[in-house]
Amino acid sequence: MAKLSPRDIKRKINGIKNTQRITKAMKAVSAAKLRKAQALLYATRPYSNKLYELIEDLAIYIDRESHPLLEKREEKSVDLVIITADRGLAGAFNSNVIKTAWREIQRLKGEGKEVNLLLIGRKGVNFYKNKGFNIIEAYEDIYRDQVNLTYTAKVGGILSSRFIDKKSDAVYLFNNELITSSTYETKIRKLLPLESTASSKKLEEVSVYNIEPSKEEVLSSLLQRYINYQLFRALVESSTAEHSARMLAMDNATKNAGEAIRKWTIIFNKARQEAITTELIDIINAAEAIK
């Protein structure tokens, strides 16, 4: 590599400083978005958990085979819902989900099962769209506006219809979930058929409800609501985890830029000292030549 002049090194330092200002600003933006997303997430989780508990209590009163969304059958065809982000610059946030889903896809295909994908988020869409999979639907730019239940109801309806029509025998959900404000994990959850522990409960342990018009009708309505809301929660979890991941990535980038600035400043000082020393030697040599 050609030796850089002090002017070139100074230009490089200024470029790193500009990058550092950008990463610092992006960290601040992500931190603000994270606080807002956390408020929505912490309001979403209790409702989601209570809805699941309610369905479990109602399911103990009826035969699982009596409702198509509770029917368990051999998994010959599987739908995978893979949720990623639309943007990068968030560390390993997107690659973690994509790699986890990829390993599961290879396992399922190795067992001779048909795999269908429903992709949410541009990063997942770009990765899987040319891999030869059967893609049910692909959604991008869903985080541009706030995620709402109208959107998840559409996706939930597609998945429920496919399961009821026996186009799929199970639906699995892949997404990142926030653990703490600075950590997240990739989760795999079975969305359909509903995994219930109601059969292990005793009747006296289950809450007592007065149900109208009937247990079956109420359970049917709640099951679709549950599926829609689990998708909503998964999107909220993913969005919150994305802000956390990007905040940490930008914080690391800012620190790395600071280290690079210090390193190049030392190089610049050495180069400038060498240039000054060279000039002094030239002056001394010229003076000696005149004598």
Q: What are the phi and psi torsion angles at 72 (to 5°)?
A: -100, 130
Q: Is residue 274 part of a domain?
A: no
Average pLDDT, the chain: 85
> Could you tell me the two tokens for 262?
């210090």
| Predicted confidence (pLDDT) at residue 205 exceeds the cutoff of 60 | no
Using CA atoms, how far apart are residues 248 and 146, in angstroms rounded to an integer?
A: 22
Q: Is residue 90 part of a domain?
A: yes
Q: Is residue 185 part of a domain?
A: yes
* Cβ-contact 191, 234 below 8 angstroms: no
Q: Is residue 10 part of a domain?
A: no
For residue 145, the model assigns a pLDDT of 65
Q: Average pLDDT, stretch 267-278?
A: 82
Q: Is residue 269 part of a domain?
A: no
| Predicted confidence (pLDDT) at residue 54 exceeds the cutoff of 90 | no
For residue 272, the model assigns a pLDDT of 82
More confident position, 214 or 192? 192
- CATH value at residue 233: 3.40.1380.10
Q: Is residue 207 part of a domain?
A: yes
> What confidence category does residue 207 fall into, taking pLDDT thresholds of 50, 70 and 90?
low
| pLDDT tens-place string over residues 112-146 | 999 999 999 999 999 998 888 899 999 888 777 66
State which residues form the domain around 177: 25-249
Task: Please count the structural domains in the chain.
Answer: 1
Lowest mean pLDDT among 114-118, 205-209, 258-262: 205-209
* Cβ-contact 38, 240 below 8 angstroms: yes
Lowest mean pLDDT among 55-64, 75-84, 238-247, 257-266: 55-64
To the nearest whole percent, how much of the chain has pLDDT over 90?
44
